[in-house]
Amino acid sequence: MGAIDFRIRRWMLWPLSVVFNAVLGVMAVMPFTLLRIHIEAITLPELSAIQQVQRAKIDDPLVALIGLVGFAVIMLLFAAFNYVVRRETDAPRRGYWPLSVFVLLAPYIVVNVFIWPS
């Protein structure tokens, strides 16, 4: 009996990349939103859509830390995975990176524009 070949074929990396970036984008909604709300509350407190009751919760440094750590982990996974996939598929940089960023940010945009606008 021959050994089973578990290598992923190059053509399978594109759909895998789209699915991975979409899942990563869903996981990134909360850290990105926490950072956006925290930055908005600090930089534009008078224009912020955050109410006074919620603002006390946002001023907690733990919220910013959770957002920053989540953002860093998401970006690290995003960069590492997509670098390997782009290199292995010999995909052109001009098309691959913008598509990857769009797929990563699509869930955040959908949630913050259509589902939970501030």
pLDDT at 50 over 50: yes
- Nearest CA to 28 out of 79, 81, 67 is that of 67
State whether the Cα torsion 4-10-16-20 is positive or negative.
positive
> Which of the 8 DSSP states describes residue 64?
H
Sequence length of the chain is 118
pLDDT of 40: 74
Indicate whether 44 pLDDT > 60. Answer: yes
Say which residues have a Cβ less than 8 Å from residue 65's Cβ, sequence separation at least 6.
none
This prediction's pTM: 0.77
CB within 8 A of 26, min separation 6: which ones? 107
